[in-house]
Structure 1
């Protein structure tokens, strides 16, 4: 769930190459579903490309042009994966001050640790 009043980084850029954002609390809206599906497709494509890269590199006889293309495609897949990670990271719930300081959570007796 996107925190209220937070902008979601979308998994695509504007025609000018600028980041696109979505402001909504509707987790089932059209643009939210489109962004979720696009992220999933980008991550799936990256995983497939990684498998291909492993095969190409294991072959040992790849031509320079094939390696250039592979490198360009891997860079694009990494860019997409990082955008997904940033977007999802911003949507994680934040801990309050007590939790960050370790003052919140279950308390165990010393005997529980042996």
Structure 2
């Protein structure tokens, strides 16, 4: 390999390292990854028109409250009038998310249906 090719490869690598190590000092937010039309209201991701999302948030809160009391899935489902598979999905989605972020979990649940 010629010296020119070695220098060119080293130069590309240096540019790549500068790009990736330059980093950003700011915190990334959900809004950074959303397109303009996806934000329906400022600061609040629940709009009045999204009834399904609001209902899912209420379902998640109810399921997590009963789950915290060590109730089995079948009992949670029957007491809330839900399908056991839906309760199981909520519990699975809640494992990977912070429990205080019901809106994010609701989005996960709705995407998984």
Q: Which has the higher strand share?
A: 1
TM over 0.5: no
Superposition TM-score, scaled by structure 1 size: 0.28
Q: Which has the higher helix share?
A: 2
- Greater CA radius of gyration, 1 or 2? 2
Superposition TM-score, scaled by structure 2 size: 0.28
